[in-house]
Structure 1
Amino acid sequence: MWKDLIRELYEDAEFAPAASDTEIDQVEGRLDQTVPNELRDLLRHANGVHAEWGAGLVWSVKEIIDLNTQFRHDAEIAELYMSFEQLMFFGDNGGGDQFAYVRLPSGQNTGVYVWDHETDDRKWVASSLTDYLQRRAGTEGDGWFR
């Protein structure tokens, strides 16, 4: 389902081989945050998807762990921005802005948010991973999330 949807939306989509549940569980262990079911399901089909000239449409398990860890623990980043502990970044636009889920105490998924690297603004942009993929592929170009 995920690959078919993404291929319909992005001509240049490149899929990495699927991730195992054990690999995906490493995200939860390292970030102390539940991987949303829809992201887990996509990662089971493709451990990362790149499109739009190499932008990280959906990062691999390794990228999710490494980049979230960097954002959460880098001293220089901490001086510039609010805490990232409540976010789980999973993709980027290739220009510095990142897409994330927000951790809620209930574990409920409230959709996808964008973090603007210039303003530190965090804003809701899509109701689900499917909605994010569709909106991002829309005709609004790079500014679709603004």
Structure 2
Amino acid sequence: MIQSVWRELIGDLYPEAELPEPADEAVLVGIEKALGMALPLELAGLLRETDGVTNDYGDAIVWPAQRIAEDNLAMRADPDSVELYAPFDALIFFGDTDMGPQFAYAYTDYGPAIIVWDHETDQRRLAAVSLRDYLVRCLTEGNAWFR
């Protein structure tokens, strides 16, 4: 029997969540191949249980796998992005809000960390130390990122 650690956590934090079926394994492999880097283990694990997470405001706090591939490739290839922003090659964007901030994994000396990126200033700052921490912040009251 496959454990559903992420589904259980999300259900505990946000009982009204309607979670989609798991992402296709071939799509996950395709993301890694297209981006030239491995998905963080915790993100890959979540996507193997549910292909994305949306909060009660409709924010895609974890994008579906196909969107992760498409948006990351588009951001890296967009001539305006290359001119305006520091490189995105070491990041894997995976979530956002309708208010602008986007969230990405950045690889640090201590392993992957989640940053919040502001497209207006190109500011990148630590948002969470783990996907669990990120989900708790996104799916509970009082989150400054989501209202």
> TM-score per shorter chain, which class?
0.7 to 0.9
2: distance between equivalents of 1:30 and 1:46? 21
1:89-144 superposed Cα distances (whole Å, 9 cap, x missing partner): 0111222211111135x7x6332111111211111111100011112234333347
- Show the counterpart of 2:91: 87
- Show the counterpart of 1:25: 29
1: distance between equivalents of 2:55 and 2:16? 5
Gaps of 5+ in 1: none
- Show the counterpart of 2:57: 53
Map 1:68-87; keep pairs closer than 5 Å: 68-87=72-91
Residue 39 (structure 1) aligned with residue 36 (structure 2): no
| Equivalent residue for 2:101, pick from 97, 103, 107 | 97
Contact 1:36–1:109 (Cα < 8 Å) also in 2? no
Gaps of 5+ in 2: none
- Count how many residue pairs are aligned between Structure 1 and Structure 2: 142
Once the two structures are TM-superposed, the CA of residue 79 in structure 1 deviates from its matched residue by: 2.1
- Show the counterpart of 2:17: 13
1: distance between equivalents of 2:43 and 2:123? 23
Q: Sequence identity, in percent?
A: 38
Q: TM-score, normalised by structure 2?
A: 0.87
1:26-67 superposed Cα distances (whole Å, 9 cap, x missing partner): 110011111011011100000111113221111111100011
Residue 134 (structure 1) aligned with residue 136 (structure 2): yes
Say which SS state the counterpart of residue 112 (structure 2) adopts.
coil
RMSD: 1.8
- Show the counterpart of 1:120: 122
1: distance between equivalents of 2:98 and 2:12? 21
Name the aligned partner's letter for residue 123 of structure 1. R
| Equivalent residue for 2:67, pick from 54, 63, 70 | 63
